[in-house]
Amino acid sequence: MDIYLFRDLSRLHKTGNFSQAADLSNLSQSAFSRRIRSLESWIGVTLVDRSRQPVRLTAAGLQMLEAGQQALDRIEQERSQILEAQSLPDKYVVTFGAQHSIGWRFYPAWLQDFEESFGPILSRLRADDLPNCMRDLKNGDVDFVIAYESRHIRYNGQEAGAARSRSDDADTLTIGYDSLIPVSKPQSGGTPLFSFSADKIEMPFLRFGEDAPIARHLEPLFKAEGLGDRLRIVYENSMAGALRIRARDGMGVAWLPRSLVAPDMKAGILVQTGAPDWEVPLEIRLFRHRPHSNRVTRTIWSFLEKRQSRDLTVDA
């Protein structure tokens, strides 16, 4: 599959017109149309609603466009870093593993802030499910893992206060904060399309898959507030980005990372719903496996430890 087909899809999304998008791609309209159809054929669903003018991407089209653009950006970043590493063979490429929902928005902003203080580093991100990230950390395939923790749930899925499965070789420190908030598409007046009123009406629920570790952070809230009986599952996905697309389409309510939906809330595409105390605070923590550390990663860890200690002193 030609990954640059996603650039064609992006041009079509921006222009809403096959002819204009073809011109931007320096292709004939027929050739451009064939490229879009080949992408649809590869994915197996319709990505473009051609029944209206200007044309619009379907929900699947928007989801794949966002995923494709991220993939293209990642490929270009990796290419640049590989070329830089080749020209500077003594430079070590630091590999971060992260949950998908962290990789979308938090990680790029955190890395930029980190490099502004620490200095530039060669790095790459491997976004994956959390169990895979922790396995890769233990095996030495990644240098660090970035993951969510909450007051109730730790990275190994156990309740706070229980014995953790971390070995003596595992270290962790806090590098940021986030929260899971219930969001809904707004009505024309700006109020939530799905509002939890006193009449106990069931809400259509966009749920993280049962195997998604991020879903475990919501379980104590749902139990305490009796929300299990008020939420009717209409869609399930382990990817926060997929739930976000469905929430923006008005399919239901989803608890999503505030960092992920902040741009949508600012633009009025999504609004917070439910009670204010239904927000679930999260810590964003960095993990390392000490036996696989090296001079570069030890220097990074020492820097972050000192910054965390300094931040705690200021907060106190």
Q: Binning pLDDT at 50, 70 and 90, where does residue 19 land?
A: very high
pTM over 0.75: no
For residues 21 and 298, give the distance between their C-alpha atoms in angstroms, rounded to a whole number.
Answer: 49
Query: What's the pLDDT at 176?
Result: 93
Residue with tokens 């749920």: 207
DSSP state of 50: T
Asked if residue 236 lies in contact with residue 214, where contact means CB atoms within 8 angstroms, the answer is no
Alpha carbons 95 and 74: distance in angstroms, whole number: 13
Tokens describing residue 244: 């976000």
Q: How many angstroms separate the CA atoms of 300 and 177, rounded?
A: 20
Q: How far apart are CA 291 and CA 41, in angstroms?
A: 47
**Domains of the chain, CATH where assigned:** 5-67 (1.10.10.10), 92-316 (3.40.190.290)
11 vs 154, residue with greater confidence: 11
* Cβ–Cβ < 8 Å for 165, 240: no
Mean pLDDT along residues 195-216: 83
Minimum mean pLDDT range among 38-52, 136-150, 198-212: 198-212
Position 198 pLDDT exceeds 70: no
Residue 159 has pLDDT above 70, yes or no: no
> Residue 86: what pLDDT?
60
The mean-pLDDT minimum among 48-57, 87-96, 119-128, 132-141 falls in: 87-96
